[in-house]
Structure 1
């Protein structure tokens, strides 16, 4: 398991103006709080954080934060992203206490989709209705992700929150607070024919109908053309008689 180490510096200048100056210099303002300690205003190298954010595990892993000569264990709690630029405006980190449970969102990984009964045998398609779930656990039990096995899911079947196989020490936050354990997370269903597909099929059928009609008319015209000389010959013979 790879360790994530974040290098930060303390900052004393706060406020919107100070934060804008930091961002212009390629820095990322942030804050670290929790574990019954005072919050600290910190600053990171923006590009280094952007590089870490490309890794899925960064969002659900215990991180090592180094400020000067001190280190502390933290988790990512919030990111403020720029509305249209590929950049981050602010980052929030929470200190952890090894003996206290924390609440985190972890991604769901849907495995064995290619061997899913509903897909392989019945031609169904998979619809992902949830991509992550909020869990509660001790820091030592924090998973990078949760696997959802799709191999035995049949056509028109749905997996729900209660179907998630949780590792020991992991609980689902919403279910601890009276949430619906039947909330769907993924389903397998028969593909729906889109309006565009229906229109294309109708147009194709209409085109085939036109071709059939044209072919029939052409055949009839050819028949009439063949009959005409014979009719003319008969009329000629009658005239001669």
Structure 2
């Protein structure tokens, strides 16, 4: 599993729009932690710490350790509300993670070796990344921070599908169980000139 990331959190005793507004003026972000066999917990975060954290890829796809008065709770980000134009995080939703239950998560795809592939070296070949992330299912201990897509052998005309991705042990793509229609293209290498001729 990827490196653990810890964020400090405090309990929030007051609710409502007015209370949330006062929290934000004080440099705090209201949030909620739900799921598991516990009641939802109203919490608050330090805005600066959250603002720095949300600039990292792991914030969206990794299990995070929430530190509440020294007790650690493993959670996964489920929703984040940002201000429409200010650099402000408005609200956070985290879901508790059960170490023994399969979780569903969305992780980013990292494309490697594209520049050195036969397709990447050919000037008139257009390589498009059809997907930037993928929905997976696994136990928390197996959750990858990202999935690599190796394009080293990509040539003109190639299409890489979800079913061709090399997944870490214990990780699966639920969509593939729904049939071939759900085996979406991840990468397509095509020659623009050929595509234009076909269109004409």
Give the TM-score of the pair, scaled to structure 1.
Answer: 0.75
Q: Where do 4+ consecutive residues of structure 1 move more than 6 Å? A: none
Where do 1:96-175 residues align within 5 Å?
96-121=97-122, 123-175=124-176
Pair 1:21 & 2:22 matched: yes
Select the structure that is richer in helix.
Answer: 1
Count of residues in Structure 1 that have an aligned counterpart in Structure 2 = 193
After the TM superposition, which of the residue ranges 160-169 and 104-113 deviates more from structure 2? Answer: 160-169
In 1, are the aligned partners of 2:176 and 2:183 still within 8 Å (CA)? no
Q: C-alpha separation between the residues in 2 aligned to 1:111 and 1:63? A: 26
Which protein shows a greater Rg?
Answer: 1
Q: C-alpha separation between the residues in 1 aligned to 2:75 and 2:130? A: 30
In 2, are the aligned partners of 1:29 and 1:91 still within 8 Å (CA)? yes
In 2, are the aligned partners of 1:160 and 1:181 still within 8 Å (CA)? no
Where do 1:1-241 residues align within 5 Å?
2-121=3-122, 123-178=124-179, 180-191=181-192
Q: Which has the higher contact order (CA 8 A, sep 6+)?
A: 2
Which runs of 5 or more residues in structure 1 are unaligned?
A: 194-241
Q: C-alpha separation between the residues in 2 aligned to 1:33 and 1:176? A: 29
- Kindly state the Cα deviation for residue 3 of structure 1 after the two structures are TM-superposed: 2.5
Partner SS for 1:113: coil
- Kindly state the Cα deviation for residue 192 of structure 1 after the two structures are TM-superposed: 5.4
Q: Can you list the C-alpha shifts for 1:191-223, whole angstroms capped at 9, x where unaligned?
A: 359xxxxxxxxxxxxxxxxxxxxxxxxxxxxxx
After the TM superposition, which of the residue ranges 53-62 and 39-48 deviates more from structure 2? Answer: 53-62
After the TM superposition, which of the residue ranges 135-144 and 87-96 deviates more from structure 2? Answer: 87-96
- Kindly state the Cα deviation for residue 162 of structure 1 after the two structures are TM-superposed: 1.1
Give the superposed CA RMSD.
Answer: 1.8
Which runs of 5 or more residues in structure 2 are unaligned?
A: 195-200
In 2, are the aligned partners of 1:80 and 1:88 still within 8 Å (CA)? yes
- Kindly state the Cα deviation for residue 86 of structure 1 after the two structures are TM-superposed: 2.0
Q: Can you list the C-alpha shifts for 1:45-93, whole angstroms capped at 9, x where unaligned?
A: 1110010111112211111111113211111111111222222111111
In 2, are the aligned partners of 1:76 and 1:92 still within 8 Å (CA)? yes
Q: Can you list the C-alpha shifts for 1:118-154, whole angstroms capped at 9, x where unaligned?
A: 2224641211111000100000000010011111111
Q: C-alpha separation between the residues in 2 aligned to 1:171 and 1:15? A: 40
